[in-house]
Amino acid sequence: MDGSNTGGPTDVPTPRAGYQGEPGSFSARAAARAGRPLAYATFDRLLRALLAGDVDVAVLPAATHGAGPVVEPLEALARALEAGGVPLEVRDEIAIPVRLVLAAPSGVAEESVREIHSQPPVLRQCARLLARRDAVPVETHDTAFAARRVAELGGARAAVCSEEAALEAGLVVLEEDVSDVKPNATRFWTVARRSDAEPTVRALFFSGARLAAALHDAGAEILMLAGRPGAAVGGFATVAAASLAKAAGLVATSGETLVWLGPAPDHVPPPRLRDAPRATEVRAATVVTAGAFAVGGGKRAVIAGPCAVESPEQVMRLAKAVARAGATALRGGVFKPRTSPSAFQGHGLEALRWLKDAGDAVGLPIVTEVMAPAQVEPVARLADVLQIGARNCQNYDLLKEAGAAGRPVMLKRGFGTTVEEWLSAAEYILAAGCEGVLLCERGIRTFERSTRGTLDLGGLLAARSLTHLPLLADPSHAAGRKELVPGLARAAWGAGVDGLMIEVHDAPESALCDGPQALLPEDLEMLLDEFGLLPGRTGSVERVRRAIDAVDSSIAALAARRLELCRRVAEVKKATGRPVRDEAREATVRARFAESLGKDATKASGLADALIALGLEAEGWEGDATRR
Ligand code: PEP
Ligand code: MN
């Protein structure tokens, strides 16, 4: 094996991951994600095994989405912590989607079910089911066990469990998706003995009403437990990274408890790459701004414009075109790095003035390349963002000079630069004092000749987990052919890049540089419609209408797809003897629309009602679908 391959398999043994319950349970599934699953009958036994070193992690259900803490395991964890001894940490959280079914031995008629067996937290989230069926809840320690038990006992009994557990026990599914919590997922904690590992969750154990209030104010999520003598108010809390600084100020006074289950909140995690401490520091996403232009941390940008600034008129025309399309910054080269020394080298600083005037006219910041340290100072006087080209990605003197210029710097990845080398290059810029570094993947050199470069989306995604800096993709230089640019742009956008850089020209055949890869302004417009970008202040009504048309086409296509799915579900309902109309389900559909349309609640219900009525019609419902 190649020892330098940090992403490859290592000889670290698979952790032993204990869980409470039986194979086939949701806990077993969560444990399999944390290591080699080992079953324990009770939470207390599981935690004793953890303290004794018989398992490496204990995987405990801690909270249900929307339904608060799972008290039994958290109570057991509280007992283990109160007993003292070995310090523990919450290392990670694993969310397992939970789909619960009601299942009974074959031959049990649905309406005859009088007992419903399951685990207490599961029974609690099926209150509506229990009420509707007028059944008695029977507590078991595990959902898979409930399924087996019901199969053994027979009679008018049913279990709430996963579909897999039901089938495994030979039961028949009477009803699907029976939880009141929708969508339903359980968040499991992997609890371990205290180590040096970097946790992904910051959890703490506390008691005292004052601390509960302070944690709540600090934005912590509180998982409250039932009071105990001497600790009437207490439980666990998780603190998001953004709130850690606030929570760090909290200390327990007498009679209170505050135990961090892992490193203290002021602990500074080490950078993800030792040699690039600034670029790979573990921190919230960096948002790079230049005036109204902002990219990173959820803000997405498109930098567009010609490869080279050719004349004042050309750049003014294209500035208007890209602003109208919805671009958020204007690009244009004034110093052009060309493979051939006899090719057009750019119009230099004179063209920078033309670029600046064009940007100002449409209200867009300008991005332009610097090729030599001596160009940095004069270019930085006018340019909003300095670009370092692929050929200069590892030109360290240039990186240092650009980093000290007081402007954000966009660093393009070299054709032969690894992700680590690229991040190390960014480190030079950051070390020189620049905080706003943008990273742009523009195609690397591979054996492939049908494209100019190979857009390395895998490398971009790998960089995403290493750096807080905004990541952009340049599909134009990667493709070298305009017909491939929209596809690559969509792929990069879909992969979650913070921004794109796209070359645009209105007369590509006579462009002085990179004509074959330039999109026409109208092509850019269509692409940015798809991304939901809109023109700035120089936009036009017609342009916005085109965006509305594109949305309408999508809605129409989605409505058609929805009707198709309604017909499909009707077939399944008929085949399994279920009624066509399900009012609980209709309420869920309405709630979803109300959630996304928010304050426009009346409009939301109008839209939902129309879709539901169309759906019922498609399903062959013969009643009055509009009546509720
Ligand atoms: C450019 O953006 O115009 C350019 C020259 O790009 P790269 O450095 O990626 O080739
Ligand atoms: Mn170019």
Average the pLDDT over each of 34-38, 161-165, 453-457, 475-479 and give the range with the smallest value: 161-165
d(CA 589, CA 566): 13
pLDDT tier, 400 (very low <50, low <70, confident <90, very high otherwise): very high
Question: For residue 533, how far is its CA from the centre of ligand 2 (angstroms)?
Answer: 23
> What pLDDT sits at residue 227?
83
Question: For residue 44, how far is its CA from the centre of ligand 1 (angstroms)?
Answer: 61
Q: What is the pLDDT of residues 38-67, one digit of tens each?
A: 999 999 999 999 999 999 999 999 998 766
Average the pLDDT over each of 33-47, 355-369, 382-396, 535-549 and give the range with the smallest value: 535-549
For tokens 């480190």, name the residue.
427
Question: For residue 362, how far is its CA from the centre of ligand 1 (angstroms)?
Answer: 23
Ligand number nearest CA of 442 is: 1
Question: For residue 503, how far is its CA from the centre of ligand 2 (angstroms)?
Answer: 7
Strand partners, 35: none
Question: For residue 21, how far is its CA from the centre of ligand 1 (angstroms)?
Answer: 58
Q: What is the pLDDT of residues 369-397, one digit of tens each?
A: 999 999 999 999 999 999 999 999 999 99
> What pLDDT sits at residue 6?
47
Question: For residue 297, how far is its CA from the centre of ligand 2 (angstroms)?
Answer: 27
Q: What is the pLDDT of residues 297-330, one digit of tens each?
A: 999 999 999 999 999 999 999 999 999 999 999 9
395 phi and psi angles, rounded to 5 deg: -90, 90
Nearest residue CA, atom 4 of ligand 1? Answer: 389
Residue 577 Ramachandran class (φ > 0 left, ψ -120 to 50 alpha, else beta):
left
In the 8-state DSSP scheme, what is residue 270? Answer: P
Residue 118 identity (one-letter amino acid): S
Strand partners, 206: 235, 258
Nearest residue CA, atom 10 of ligand 1? Answer: 390
> What pLDDT sits at residue 582?
83
Mean pLDDT confidence for 152-157: 94
CA of 392, closest atom in ligand 1: 8
Q: Which two tokens stand for residue 568?
A: 């499909």
Average the pLDDT over each of 175-189, 489-503, 552-566 and give the range with the smallest value: 175-189
> What pLDDT sits at residue 601?
75
Nearest residue CA, atom 8 of ligand 1? Answer: 389
For tokens 């790095």, name the residue.
337
- Characterize 98-108 residue by residue with b for buried, 16 or more Cβ atoms within 10 angstroms of its Cβ, and e for exposed: bebbbbbbeeb
Mean pLDDT confidence for 581-606: 83
Q: Which two tokens stand for residue 98?
A: 């939970």
> What pLDDT sits at residue 66?
67
Q: What is the pLDDT of residues 135-149, one digit of tens each?
A: 999 999 889 999 999
Average the pLDDT over each of 245-259, 353-367, 406-420 and give the range with the smallest value: 245-259
Strand 499-503 with 68-69, pairing = unpaired
Question: For residue 471, how far is its CA from the centre of ligand 1 (angstroms)?
Answer: 16
CA of 337, closest atom in ligand 1: 5
ω before 337 within 30° of 0 (cis)?
no
pLDDT tier, 4 (very low <50, low <70, confident <90, very high otherwise): very low
> What pLDDT sits at residue 8?
46
Residue 550 identity (one-letter amino acid): A
CA of 389, closest atom in ligand 1: 8
Answer whether 455 contacts ligand 1 (Cβ < 6 A).
no
> What pLDDT sits at residue 52?
96
| Secondary structure (H, E, C), 33-71 | HHCEEEEECCHHHHHHHHHHCCCCEEEEEEEECCCEECH
Nearest residue CA, atom 6 of ligand 1? Answer: 389
Answer whether 91 contacts ligand 1 (Cβ < 6 A).
no
Q: Are 69 and 56 in contact (CB under 8 A)?
A: no
Answer whether 359 contacts ligand 1 (Cβ < 6 A).
no
> What pLDDT sits at residue 231?
76
> What pLDDT sits at residue 10?
57
pLDDT tier, 540 (very low <50, low <70, confident <90, very high otherwise): confident
Strand 301-305 with 499-503, pairing = parallel
Q: Which contiguous run of DSSP H or E holds residue 562?
A: helix 541-576
CA of 308, closest atom in ligand 1: 3
Q: What percent of the chain stands above pLDDT 90? A: 75
Ligand number nearest CA of 514 is: 2
**Mean pLDDT computed over every residue of the chain:** 92
d(CA 188, CA 191): 9
CA of 501, closest atom in ligand 1: 2
Higher pLDDT, 512 or 544: 512
pLDDT tier, 625 (very low <50, low <70, confident <90, very high otherwise): low
pLDDT tier, 628 (very low <50, low <70, confident <90, very high otherwise): very low
pLDDT over threshold 50, residue 449: yes
pLDDT over threshold 70, residue 3: no
Q: Residue 188: is it exposed, middle or buried by C-beta count within 10 angstroms (0-12/13-18/19+)?
A: buried
d(CA 220, CA 214): 9
> What pLDDT sits at residue 5?
45
Answer whether 482 contacts ligand 1 (Cβ < 6 A).
no
CA of 307, closest atom in ligand 1: 3
Answer whether 486 contacts ligand 1 (Cβ < 6 A).
no
pLDDT tier, 1 (very low <50, low <70, confident <90, very high otherwise): very low
